[in-house]
Chain A
Amino acid sequence: MSVDRRSTVLAFGAARYVTMSLIALVLLLPLVWLVVSSLRPPADIFAQGSRLGWGMLIPDRLTLENYTSLIGTGFPRAVGNSLFVALTTMVVGVIINAAAGFAFAVFDFRFKNVIFAFVLAAAMMPFEAIVIPLYILVQSLGLIDTYAALILPDLANGFVIFMFRQFFAGLPRELYEAARVDGASWGHIWLKIALPISWPVVLTGGIMLFMHQFEAFFWPLVAAPSPEHTLVQVAIARNISLEGTEWGRLFSSTTLAGLVALVPFLLFQKFYIRNFVTSGLK
């Protein structure tokens, strides 16, 4: 490798890290402010806001009061509820949406385009427009204020199906043909060939479903608002009120919920590596 070439590579790497650092700074500063504010006594949160200075980011007085006081509230239970709902949706949802996505990508069948258009429309319809009919429906099924009311309507997701279709359609078709010729069943092909070489895609679908449920707010509010079934965003929003928002707890609960929501991504991003099976094939 010539000296020239090596210095280009080095310069490129340095530029990459500088760019990433600048972006991270812009993205994280508001969150740092949020976390720092969550560590201040409530009276101090807005005391420093209007003048530039270190007081903005370094608290005069530190307290964990905003965190410890969450213990006695419904917040821990709400985090548990949200995790249960989001993880269940993720596991079951990935299976059924990946299966449907596979069918749209690989099979030919009658009315395929019409059915697929409906799948997309299901994801594109403003939720607020269908919330009352959906509420009546879920109520008539006797599911109001149950975990099922929170999970079942969001298991199938048009966007997740669409994403799986796009990625499965991108796999070389010879892969399936070869397996079919060898007599493999479609179930086998899907489970043992398509899914294993699509780990990043499967995990991405999982993150989609997880985030969708972890951020859910309006539906959980109307469908299951009792303390036993309260989800995390509803619990956080209860700190906001016309007269007397609990800023400290609002910030501390937001911080904790954000950290919990980050965990699946942190675990899954390790699997974002180039897939050798596909690279070997083309």
Chain B
Amino acid sequence: MTTRRTVLKGMTATGGLLAAPQLLRAQAKTELNVIWVGWPEGHITPMAEMFMKNNPTINLKLERIPFNELFPALEVRLQARTPLPDIFFADGPLTASYSIRKHLAELDGILGNDLSRYTKAALAQGTYKGKLMTLPYISSGMVLFLNRKHFADAGVALPEPDVAKRWTWEQTLEAAKKLTDPAKNQWGLVFEMADRPYQALTLPQSKGAQVLSEDGLTATGYVDSKPFIDAMQFYADLFNKHKVTPTGVFDTNLALEMFATGRAAMYLATTPSLASISARKDLDWTVAPQPYFEGGKAVTPTGSWHIGLNPRTKQRAAAETFIKAFAQPEYVEAQARLRPNPPVLKSVWDSMGAELDTPGWRIVRSEMENTAMPRPATPGWLEYEDILRGAFREIQGGANVEQRLKKAARDIDREFAKYRG
């Protein structure tokens, strides 16, 4: 101890002139507490370092919360209604929920009026009652992954990676029947998020269903509407009647393994799979756009992480600096390079050039502009999602589609009562 202290003393004495200003600056630093969704360190640390390098007076204190626990952990922190965290990551569809409960500060005044640089769907997801409440940060999109070997073995022609030649669900089902071989534990089609409305809602939407009332407060008449029921009957038949899709694959990472280990010929999944599947060297695969219903319209899911500003923050100026920075194209681009999610700024699609010029990303870019539909804006998204998840699971398991959706609609409306009051 003493030796170290003497050494330190010596260092301060000799480098006193250099050390003193640094020490002062360190003390003057503002600390921002940021709750970040629990991505791998490598996706976050470079972004934080980039920000701190550009804003030397601000020190970021990061908390990486694992995805499964992000909502509960944020709930504890936000419901405690304290000044911390200053900044937090919010799932896009929760914008309304956090807004109505006063956990978000308006961002309109901070960003000025130039919001046209954002993709339409991303902006819509971050807006509540005409005000931008969460900053769109990254987005998401889906493509259909195809195992070339399975298609060749079954003698089925591959769909093309061209949105103009999109397969219908009916075509997809016919192909899936030929690609399924129960004896080899080989399935025609696997969904990445088989029970999550994020993915499943695009089926009723493709049949023209409106999945929630305009004000986001009524499910009856929407979740149990004819096109919704018809679409979910088609979905149920994939599992039960045609048996081309395995039931019970609810873990997104196990779904990925189904495709990556050659147990599924087709895999409908989000863009991070473009990276994880590329990493599997033995796999011969290609992509196609997400199917749509014959006579219906093409709809693809979108929306992902946004950034929220705690209205109770004691570091308002620094927090605003953070929001402004992460709205800059160079931040959005840097993040997109670290993490395979579609960028939310139109300009970044161009500035990234070659990296996004692959068949998969070309499809996603087109979908973002034409078919992407954000999840419905409702303060009750968590309830809506949870209750529908339960319904979709049971529909997979063979429950009567119409009855189960009617029950789900009733359950949702009951939970929504508190928002109508």
In the complex they form, whether A and B have CB atoms below 8 Å apart is answered with yes
| Contact indicator B66/A234 (Cβ below 8 Å) | yes
Find out whether the CB atom of A238 lies under 8 angstroms from the CB atom of B64.
yes
Tell me whether A225 and B76 are in contact (CB under 8 A): no
Q: Identify the stretch in A110-118, A131-139, A159-167, A173-181 within 8 Å (CB) of chain B at 4 or more residues.
A: A131-139
A278 at the B interface (CB under 8 A): no
Q: How far is the CA of A50 from the CA of B258 in the complex (A)?
A: 11
Q: Does B66 contact A240, Cβ atoms closer than 8 Å? A: yes
Known: A135-B80, A241-B67. A246 touches B73 (CB 8 A): no
Nearest B-chain residue to A228, judged by Cβ: B61
Across chains A and B, the number of contacting residue pairs, with CB separation under 8 Å, is: 82
| Cβ-neighbour of A132 out of B35, B41, B76, B84 (below 8 A) | B76
Residues facing A in B249-275 (CB within 8 A) are: 252-254, 256-257, 260-261, 263, 270, 272-273, 275
Report if B82 contacts A (CB, 8 A). Answer: yes
Is B158 at the interface (CB under 8 A from chain A)?
no
Q: Mark B51-75, 1 if CB is under 8 A from A, else 0.
A: 0000000000111111111001100
Whether B64 lies near A222 (C-beta < 8 A) is no
Q: Are the CB atoms of A46 and B257 closer together than 8 Å? A: yes
B38 interface neighbour in A50, A51, A241, Cβ under 8 Å: A241
CB-CB under 8 A from A218, the residues of chain B are 69, 72-73
B72: A residues at CB distance < 8 A: 218
A241–B76 CB distance below 8 A: no
A159 to B91, CA, bound (A): 39
Q: Is A227 an interface residue (CB 8 A)?
A: yes
Is B12 interfacial (CB 8 A cutoff)?
no
Name the one of A43, A135, A240 contacting B76, with C-beta atoms under 8 angstroms.
Answer: A135
CB contacts (< 8 Å) of B254 on chain A: these are 46
- Tell me the complex Cα distance, A136–B84, Å: 11
Say whether A73 faces chain B, with CB atoms less than 8 Å apart. yes
**Which residue of chain A has its CB nearest to the CB of B79?**
A132
A244 contact from B66, B84, B253, Cβ within 8 A: B253
The answer to whether B9 has its CB under 8 Å from any CB of chain A is no
Q: Is the CB of A50 within 8 A of B76?
A: no
Tell me which residues across on chain B come within 8 A of A73, comparing CB atoms. 41
A50-B185, A50-B263, A247-B253 in contact; A139/B80 too (CB < 8 A)?
yes
**Do A43 and B41 touch (CB < 8 A)?**
no
| Pair B252/A242 contact, Cβ less than 8 Å | yes
A99 to chain B, nearest CB (A): 32
Return chain A residues, CB-CB under 8 Å to B241. Answer: none
Q: Does A221 contact B (CB under 8 A)?
A: yes
**Mostly helix, strand, loop or mixed at chain A's interface?**
loop
List chain A residues, Cβ under 8 A from B65. Answer: 221, 225
Q: Report B25-64 residues with CB < 8 Å from chain A CB.
A: 35, 38-41, 61-64
Q: Are B41 and A74 in contact (CB under 8 A)?
A: yes
A259 at the interface (CB under 8 A from B): no
Q: Among A49, A225, A237, which residue has its beta carbon within 8 angstroms of that of B63?
A: A225
Whether the pair A240, B67 counts as a contact (CB closer than 8 A) is yes
- Min CB distance B45 to A, Å, is 10
Report whether A243 and B270 are in contact in the complex, using a CB–CB cutoff of 8 Å.
Answer: yes
- Given A237-B68, A240-B67: A221 touches B73 (CB 8 Å cut-off): yes
Q: Is B77 in the interface zone, CB < 8 Å from A?
A: yes
User: Do the beta carbons of B61 and A226 come within 8 Å of each other?
Assistant: yes
Q: Is B280 an interface residue (CB 8 A)?
A: yes
| Closest chain B residue, CB of each to CB of A42 | B279
Q: What's the nearest-Cβ distance from chain A to residue B44, in Å?
A: 11
Neighbouring A residues of B68 by C-beta, 8 Å: 237, 240
Tell me which of A135, A139, A221, A242 has the highest count of chain B C-beta atoms within 10 A of its own C-beta.
A242
Q: Which single residue of chain A is at the shortest CB-CB distance from B81?
A: A136
Contacts of A225 in B (CB 8 A): 35, 63-65, 73
Residue of A nearest to B193 (CB): A242
- Interchain CB contact under 8 A, A243 and B64: no
Is B321's CB within 8 Å of the partner chain A? no
Nearest CB in chain B: distance from A152 CB, A: 18
Q: Is the CB of A135 within 8 A of B77?
A: yes
List A203-247 residues whose CB lies under 8 Å from chain B: 218, 221-222, 225-227, 234, 237-238, 240-247
How far is A226 from B62 in the complex, measured between Cα atoms in Å?
Answer: 6
Q: Which one of B273, B279, B282 lies within 8 Å of A243 (CB-CB)? A: B273
Check if A227 sits within 8 Å of B62, measured CB to CB: yes
**B282 surroundings in chain A (CB, below 8 A):** 43
Q: Which residues does chain A contribute within 8 Å of B39, judged by CB atoms?
A: 241
When C-beta atoms are compared, the residue in chain A nearest to B254 turns out to be: A46
Asked whether A238 and B66 contact (CB < 8 A) given A74-B41, A244-B253, the answer is yes
Nearest chain B CB to A219's CB is how many angstroms away? 10
- In the complex the two chains form, is B82's CB within 8 Å of A139's CB? yes
How far is it, in angstroms, between the C-alpha of A139 and the C-alpha of B35 when the chains are bound? 17
Q: Report A-chain residues with C-beta under 8 Å of the C-beta of B270.
A: 243
What are the residues of chain B within 8 A of A169 when measuring CB–CB?
none
Interface centre among A43, A222, A243, A244 (most CB of B within 10 A): A243
A-B contact pairs, 15 of them (CB 8 A): A136-B80, A139-B82, A218-B73, A222-B73, A222-B77, A234-B66, A237-B69, A238-B40, A240-B68, A241-B38, A241-B66, A242-B67, A243-B252, A243-B273, A244-B272
Further pairs besides A225-B65, A243-B252: 7, Cβ < 8 Å:
A43-B260, A43-B281, A132-B80, A226-B62, A238-B38, A243-B273, A243-B276
* B residues apposed to A, CB below 8 Å: 35, 38-41, 61-69, 72-73, 76-77, 79-80, 82, 84, 185, 252-254, 256-257, 260-261, 263, 270, 272-273, 275-276, 279-282
- Nearest 5 pairs between A and B by C-beta? A243-B272, A225-B63, A245-B253, A237-B66, A46-B257
